[in-house]
Chains A and B, each alone.
Chain A
Amino acid sequence: MGRPSSTSMAMSRGLRRSLAGFTAVVLAVVYIPLLLVLVNSFNSDNTFGWPPPRFTLHWWKVAAESTGAREALFTSIQVALVATAIALVLGTLAAMGLRRTRFFGRNVVSLLIILPIALPGIVTGLAFQNGFRTILGIQLSIWTIVIAHATFCIVTVFNNVQARFQRLGTNLEQASMDLGAGRWTTFRLVTFPMLRSALLAGGLLSFGLSFDEIVVTTFTASPQDQTLPIWILQNLFRPNQAPIVNVVAAVLVLASAVPIYLAQRLSGSTAEGLTGAR
Chain B
Amino acid sequence: MSLIDRRPGLRVGLLLTPPMLWLGVAYLGALAALLIASLWTQNDFTGTIERSWTLENFKTLFTVEVYRTITLRTIGIAALVTVVDAVLAFPIALYMAKVASPRMQRILVISVLTPLWASYLVKAYAWRGMLSADGPIAWVAAPFGLHTPGYGLPAVTITLAYLWLPYMILPVYAGLERLPDSLFEASADLGAGAWTTLRRVVVPMAFPAIVAGSIFTFSLSMGDYIAVKIVGGTSQLLGNVVYDNQGAANNLPFAAAVATVPIVVMLAYLAAVRRTGALENL
Contact = CB atoms under 8 A, between A and B. Distances in A.
Interface string B228-251: 011000000011001100100000
B149 interface: no
A34 B126 contact: yes
- Name the prevailing secondary structure of the A interface residues: helix
A128 B193 CA distance: 54
Nearest to A263: B113
A116 B20 CA distance: 13
Contact of A89 (B18, B128, B238): B18
Contacts of A212: 119-121
Contacts of B282: 114, 277
Contacts of B9: 103
A126 B242 contact: yes
Contacts of A103: 9, 12
Given A51-B139, A101-B12, A123 B19 contact: no
Interface in A28-58: 29-34, 36-37, 40, 47-51
Interface string B106-119: 10111111110111
A90 B195 CA distance: 47
A247 to B, nearest CB: 11
Interface stretch (A8-16, A61-69, A166-174, A192-200): A8-16
Interface string B206-242: 0000000001100110111110011000000011001
B123 A50 contact: no
B60 interface: no
Contacts of B181: 5-7
A179 interface: no
Interface string B245-268: 010000010011001001100100
A260 B34 contact: no
Interface of B: 2, 4-5, 8-9, 12, 15-16, 18-20, 22-24, 26-31, 33-34, 37, 49, 88, 91-92, 94-96, 98-104, 106, 108-115, 117-123, 125-130, 132, 134-136, 138-139, 162, 165, 167, 170-171, 174, 181, 184-185, 187-188, 193-195, 197, 215-216, 219-220, 222-226, 229-230, 238-239, 242-243, 246, 252, 255-256, 259, 262-263, 266, 270, 282
